[in-house]
Amino acid sequence: MQTNRTFTMLKPDSVEKGHVGAILEKINAAGFRIVAMKLTQMTTADAKAFYAIHKERPFFGELVAYMTRGPIVAAILEKDNAVEDFRTLIGATNPADAAEGTIRKLYAASIGENAVHGSDSDENAAIEGAFHFSGREMF
Ligand code: UDP
Ligand code: MG
């Protein structure tokens, strides 16, 4: 089952703008089952660890500030081919490049404030899900 799971965050801009309900509707309509979900806020240390792979990139400081400025909705989602299908549902990192109807096309403001996270591999989905949830919070 692990290979059929992905991890997402509805980022602080989605919560601030009241887009959580609309984004969850799209996730449900696309056939994902919610395995775990909560409203939570990352600390600076959390965000630096979560995005450690990007620590040398010029946008790292802005990314950490953005991701910690307010609550997020973190969730684990299950579906056949979950990682790839969820990346398709959210669209390209830059909303200017995102396909019509994708979550980022609809709700992202910019390449930085881009509404949602989606894991990029099965391995990272498992690592990222475990970063936010204990086994007791997964259903
Ligand atoms: N990001 C940014 N500027 C960039 C590229 C990425 O601010 O030029 C931010 C953006 O919020 C993105 C996150 O860093 O979602 C992680 O980047 P990644 O390349 O992993 O994109 P993703 O996997 O989220 O599409
Ligand atoms: Mg990524």
> So where are the chain's domains?
5-134
Instruction: Please name every residue paired with 116 in a beta bridge, in sequence order, or none if there are none.
Output: 10
> Does the beta carbon of 14 lie inside 6 Å of ligand 1?
no
Instruction: Please name every residue paired with 37 in a beta bridge, in sequence order, or none if there are none.
Output: 75
Q: What is the pLDDT of residue 1?
A: 43
Which tokens go with 110?
A: 């910019």
Q: What is the pLDDT of residue 2?
A: 46
**Which amino acids are annotated catalytic?**
117
Can you tell me the distance from the alpha carbon of 112 to that of 114, in angstroms, rounded to the nearest whole number?
6
> Does the beta carbon of 110 lie inside 6 Å of ligand 1?
no
Nearest CA to ligand 1 atom 18: 93
Question: Do 35 and 134 meet the contact criterion of CB atoms below 8 Å apart?
Answer: no
- Domain 5-134: homologous superfamily in CATH: Nucleoside diphosphate kinase-like domain (3.30.70.141)
Q: Which pTM value belongs to this model?
A: 0.97
Nearest CA to ligand 1 atom 11: 112
Q: Tell me how far the alpha carbon of residue 97 is from its chain's centroid.
A: 18
Distance from the alpha carbon of residue 93 to the mean position of ligand 1, in angstroms? 6
Tens of pLDDT, residues 66-121: 999 999 999 999 999 999 999 999 999 999 999 999 999 999 999 999 999 999 99
